[in-house]
Amino acid sequence: MARLKVAVIVGSARQASLNRLLALALTRLAKADLEFEWVTIRDLPIFDQDVLDAGIPPEVERLKGQIARADALLFVTPEHNRSISAMLKNAIDWGSRPRDASVWAGKPAAITGASYGRIGTAAAQQHLRAILGCLDVAVMGLPEAFIHLHPGLITPEGEVTNEETRLFLQGFMDQFDHWAGRFAGKPSAAA
Ligand code: FNR
């Protein structure tokens, strides 16, 4: 069976983003039946209905095309003031319009995020679940992955240096693989 295309959406454009690093680690830990396409969201204009009504901007067309082609979505969100970043919310809003042409509906997804703070983006992830719920995105329930990152836990190449964390993230990706596969009609590995 063909590999499943996963769109990777990181809610930070920061050069040294913890969440980009986490996303890189997750893609490295995934099984070979998942292939990843990184989605750029930093260049999207701020959502404005007047802009949309005047014609979909090319950056938005690119976003919508990438999401539409994806079999599944991997969101890796920073926490900004106990919610997701404005940049990520903006991308989600663009993808949801025009109302009858939302690219999100029916896609399976997994969400996670990293911060140096102890709660590891738990509050942001709860908000993200609520937002994606109203867009009919099927977010994997468990495992939850609130990553309390500390310097050196993930190398710049995306290697996880702590064995316990590596196994946990591996399990998260295995479950996501299973979850995405169910939506694509793949037989369960356990069957
Ligand atoms: C933060 N940060 C933060 N961290 C956290 O754990 N809870 C929070 O509510 C916030 N709030 C917050 C607001 C704003 C405006 C900024 C810029 C930052 C810190 C945040 O976790 C940290 O900057 C991470 O490094 C952001 O993720 P990236 O950009 O490294 O992926």
What is the residue extent of each domain of the chain?
A: 4-184
pLDDT over 80 (residue 117): yes
Residue 126 pLDDT exceeds 70 = yes
Give CA separation, 12 vs 15, 16, 80, 111, in Å.
Answer: 9, 9, 10, 14
> What CATH class has 4-184?
alpha beta
Q: Is the alpha carbon torsion for 164, 165, 166, 167 positive or negative?
A: positive
Per-residue pLDDT at 190: 45
**pLDDT number for residue 186:** 72
Each residue of 62-89: pLDDT tens digit? 999 999 999 999 999 999 999 999 999 9
Ramachandran region of residue 87, left (φ > 0), alpha (ψ -120 to 50) or beta?
A: alpha
* Ligand 1 site-directed mutation target among 10, 75, 80, most atoms within 8 Å of CB: 80
Alpha carbons 53 and 69: distance in angstroms, whole number: 24
Q: For ligand 1, atom 24, which residue shows the shortest CA distance?
A: 115
* pLDDT tens column, 5-50: 999 999 999 999 999 999 999 999 999 999 999 999 999 999 999 9
CA of 134 to the centre of ligand 1 (A): 25
Half-sphere exposure of 174 (CA within 13 A, CB side): 8
